[in-house]
Amino acid sequence: MTWTWFHRLASPPYVYALATRLTPWFAWPAALCILAGLWEGLVLAPPDYQQGDGFRIIYVHAPSAWMSLMVYTTMAIAAAVGLIWRIKVAHAVAASCAPIGASFTFAALVTGALWGEPMWGTYWQWDPRLTSELVLLFLYLGYMGLRAGIEDTQRADRASAVLAVVGVVNVPIIHYSVTWWNSLHQAPSVMRLAKPAMPLAMLVPLLLMLLGFTLFFVALLLTRLRGEVLQRERAASWIREVVSA
Amino acid sequence: MRAFFDMGGYAAFVWPAYAVTLAVMILNIVWARRALARSREEARRRLHMQRETR
Amino acid sequence: MSPESHAGHALAPVRTSLEPTAETAPAAPAADAFEAARLALLRDLQLAFRKRSQLIQPLAFFAMVTLLFPLAVSPELSRLRELAPGVLWVGALLASLLAVEFLFRDDAYDGTLEQYALSGQSLTALMFAKTLAHWLLTGFPLALMAPLAALSLGVSASALPGIVAAVAVGSVTLSLIGSIGAALTLGIKRSGALLSLLTLPLSLPVLIFGARATELAIHGAPAHAPLELLAALAVLGTTLAPLAAAAAVRISLE
């Protein structure tokens, strides 16, 4: 039973139809969650006793940072699946993830810098989290650059898949080494971006935003996936019906 | 209302942060839809050429 | 232009299909892989010594980079000593990057890489052999040159053994990571910038631990912790990188 489901997911026409059907089921709930999160986070939640209203940047920074990592992991897993079992749809998923992940890494860096200026007095701080985010951006750009540099789609899929898997193994190592490096040169007063204990009124909107962003990612992924799947199918007859619709 | 927009004096940081994130989200939507439209157009063109060469 | 080498002839006969036949089936696969790797290593070393000028280039680059910093910053040795770990390691990283572009270039060009892939020998073992040869020809000399660069930056002689150790171990990992990038970008024209973009982020941990080990050595403190981390990275790289490079080479040759 489970294997039929798995096999169907490898079938491009099935995945295309499924993605088309499912997109609104992720897009609308995403919008709802984000709007609810914004309302609760911006309006209802009380100001932080240390950072005042400035802490509210967390409601866009934390979800962006979460996205950057989650999307990379998804990309690496899809790439590995595509590489091991030679499933084109999996490669299509990985290709769809990259631009989404890169743009949210960028957002995480910008919002992090904007948070840093009032809190640390400097737009950029070489703290472990921001530094790791920057490295992650380069990993995304490298992945996208490699894909762009190889003409043949199948070769590009497989080469970038190897890169993604190598990258994902490195991400914890890089994060560990950057944290280690930073702890050696710890500035006396470093504001921690994530407070350990958050009152519920502040936590709930954060969770809503995290959920909303995740749903948004799935909706985006499904949209891009359809295009990527089409690109990898050449003469298939199912395309005729889909495209002339 | 004014207090809301002022964000306790941090307005110059909070609102740009939200603006950038919103921009990234909108960009993603536009980008994804455009990529899909382009792929569909390419597929349509390919099918058309196949029909022509038959 | 492709030079003959005895090592090349002694490799297992090339199979035209992947089906093992009576003549080409290896008697003891593990011993065979080791033998093939040994021959590949010797071949690479022999070929490299015929083009000695190419061997000097990464070292000259490293020396050049080291020269840039005093000119750009200050001739004061006390200031340079502070910068020395960073300068040495950025220089080593860039020199290693420069050198790794040549790791597969000649072999891909004259078809040897294809022979390796088709030979039925463990491509992973061959990749390891090539990377080891590469390290012996670039990383290891770099480690021997590092003391000279360090002295020019005002580092005291007592720190030199620690520096040699750190660069020697760190450059192993740099060669291994570089081999993956080089394999992935095979056949991409003008891949220098892309190769750097792929390799540098992955090399950051080596940079961090290496610079820290160098810094400790300069201050006379024991550098065990970062050195051990460097060694751990080298071991991890040795187990995983040749595998990834082999996969990447097969993909690039398709």
Q: Which domain holds residue B31?
A: 2-53
Beta carbons of C31 and C122 less than 8 angstroms apart: no
Instruction: Please state, as a whole number, how many other Cβ atoms lie within 10 Å of the Cβ of residue C29.
Output: 12
> What is the pLDDT, as a whole number, of residue C8?
46
Q: CB of A171 within 8 A of CB of A72?
A: yes
CA C224 to CA C230: how far, in whole Å? 10
pLDDT of residue C14: 52
Cβ contact A232:A158 at 8 Å: no
CA gap A50, A76 in Å, rounded:
39
Residues A212/A30, Cβ–Cβ less than 8 Å:
yes
pLDDT digits (tens, 9 = 90+) for A216-236: 999 999 999 999 999 998 767
**pLDDT tens for chain B, residues 1 to 54:** 777 777 777 888 899 999 999 999 999 999 999 999 999 998 888 888 877 776
> Are A103 and B27 within 8 A, CB to CB?
yes
Give pLDDT < 50 ranges for chain C.
Answer: 1-10, 15-22
User: C184 contacts in A (CB within 8 Å)?
Assistant: 146, 159, 162-163
Inter-chain contact B32–A231, Cβ cutoff 8 Å? Answer: no
Contacts of A17 (CB under 8 A, 6+ apart): none
Say whether A52 sits in a helix, a strand or coil. Answer: strand
Q: Which residue in A107, A114, A230 is closest to B13 by CB distance?
A: A114
Q: How many CA atoms lie within 13 A of C184 on its CB side?
A: 36
Give residue-wise pLDDT tens across range A85-138: 999 999 999 999 999 999 999 999 999 999 888 877 777 878 788 888 999 999
Q: Is the pLDDT reported for residue A5 higher than 60? A: yes
Which alpha helices (DSSP H) does B1-54 contain, by range?
Answer: 2-6, 11-53
Say yes or no for a CB contact (<8 Å) between B43 and A244: no
Taking an 8 Å cut-off on Cβ atoms, the answer to whether B38 and A56 are in contact is: no
**Residues near B1 by Cβ (< 8 Å), separated by ≥ 6?**
none
* In chain C, where the domains are located: 27-253
Asked if A230 reaches chain B (Cβ–Cβ under 8 Å), the answer is yes
B26 vs A: CB within 8 A: no
| Mean pLDDT taken over chain A | 88
State residue C11's pLDDT score. Answer: 55
Total domains in chain B come to 1
Specify the amino acid at residue C157. A
Is A107 in contact with B20 (Cβ distance < 8 A)?
A: yes
Q: Judge contact between C96 and C200, C-beta under 8 A.
A: no
Of A47, A99, A114, which has the smallest distance from its Cβ to B16's Cβ? Answer: A114
SS3 C183: helix
- Indicate yes or no: CB of A243 within 8 angstroms of CB of B44: yes
Cα angle value A154/A160/A164 (rounded, 5°): 140
Q: Which of C201, C204, C208 comes nearest A142 by C-beta?
A: C201
Neighbours of C118 (CB within 10 A): 16
Positions of E strands within chain C: none
Phi first, then psi, for residue A48 (nearest 5°) are -70, 145
Instruction: Inspect the structure and tell me whether chains C and B have 3 or more CB pairs less than 8 Å apart.
Output: no
User: What span, in angstroms and rounded, lies between the C-alpha atoms of B42 and A239?
Assistant: 11
Residue C130 neighbours by CB under 8 Å, 6+ apart: C40, C41, C44, C103, C104, C107, C179
pLDDT tens per residue across span A141-182: 999 999 999 999 999 999 999 999 999 998 899 888 888 888
Q: Enumerate the β-bridge partners of residue A48.
A: A52
A158 contact partners, CB below 8 Å, separation of at least 6: A82, A83, A91, C251, C254
Q: Where do the H-state alpha helices sit in A48-152?
A: 58-85, 88-120, 128-149
Judge contact between C117 and C123, C-beta under 8 A.
Answer: yes
Closest to A135 measured CA to CA, from B28, C198, C226: C198
- Cβ distance B43 to A239 under 8 Å? yes
Mapped onto helix, strand or coil, the DSSP state of residue A68 is helix
**C151 closest CA partner among C235, C216, C90, C63:** C63
Which residue is it, tokens 């295009």? A227
Render the burial of A103-141: b for 16+ CB within 10 Å, e for the rest. Answer: bbbbbbbbbbbbbbbbbbeeeebebbbbbbbbbbbbbbb
Tokens for A54, please give them: 């400035």
Structure token pair of residue A211: 């959920």
Q: Establish, for the pair of chains A and C, how many residue pairs have beta carbons separated by less than 8 Å.
A: 72
- Give the Å distances, CA to CA, from C77 to A54, A78, C167, C196: 45, 52, 21, 31
Collect all residues of chain A within an 8 Å Cβ-Cβ radius of residue B4: 42-43
Rounded average pLDDT over A72-80: 97
- Contact between A202 and B13 (Cβ < 8 Å): no
Higher pLDDT: A184 or C242? It is: C242
